Amino acid sequence: QVQLVESGGGLVQPGGSLRLSCVASRSIFSFNYMGWYRRAPGKERELVALIDRNGVINYADSVKGRSTISRDNAKSTVSLQMNSLKPEDTAVYYCNFRDGTDDYWGQGTQVTVSS
C-alpha cells in the first residue's frame, strides 16, 4: 500500500500562484503515471496534469501555459506549480499515482481563488 500526502493548497487572489506537492510513502520509480486531478463544486473530476515514467507530460487545455508538473525522485515527490490562477481553478486537487496494477489517491487539498 502507498500513502500519498498532498500539501500546498490554500486561498489565493486571482493572478496569484500556488505550488502543490504530493509526497509518496515509497520510491516513485515504479509508477507508470503520476498526476494531478481536481474536482470543482458541482463538476466531475478532471485531469489537470500528468507525467509518466519517461517524463512525458500532458496538461489540460484549461491550465496549459499556466501550470508546470515536475517530479523529484530523491524526495518521492510530484509537484504542480500553478500561476496566473483564476476563480475557475477553485477546486479540491488530488494527486494520483498508478503502477501496473494499482491506483493510489491522496486525500485532496483545497485551492480557492478569490478576491
pLDDT of residue 19: 98
pLDDT of residue 34: 96
For 98, counting Cβ atoms within 10 Å of its Cβ (0-12 exposed, 13-18 middle, 19+ buried), the class is middle
pLDDT of residue 76: 95
Distance CA 100, CA 46 (A): 21
pLDDT of residue 80: 98
> What is the bridge-based pairing of β-strands 109-113 and 10-12?
parallel
Going by C-alpha positions, the residue among 84, 103, 82, 102 that lies closest to residue 93 is 82
Residue 20, H or E segment: strand 18-24
Contact between 67 and 80 under an 8 Å Cβ cutoff? The reply is yes
Distance CA 31, CA 97 (A): 6
pLDDT tens-digit map of 52-77: 999 999 999 999 999 999 999 999 99
Give 36's pLDDT tier (boundaries 50, 70, 90): very high
Give 1's pLDDT tier (boundaries 50, 70, 90): confident
Query: Would you say how long the chain is, in residues?
Result: 115
Compute and round to an integer the Cα radius of gyration of the chain. Answer: 13
Give 30's pLDDT tier (boundaries 50, 70, 90): confident
pLDDT tens-digit map of 81-114: 999 999 999 999 999 999 888 999 999 999 999 9
Cell 505550488 found at: 19
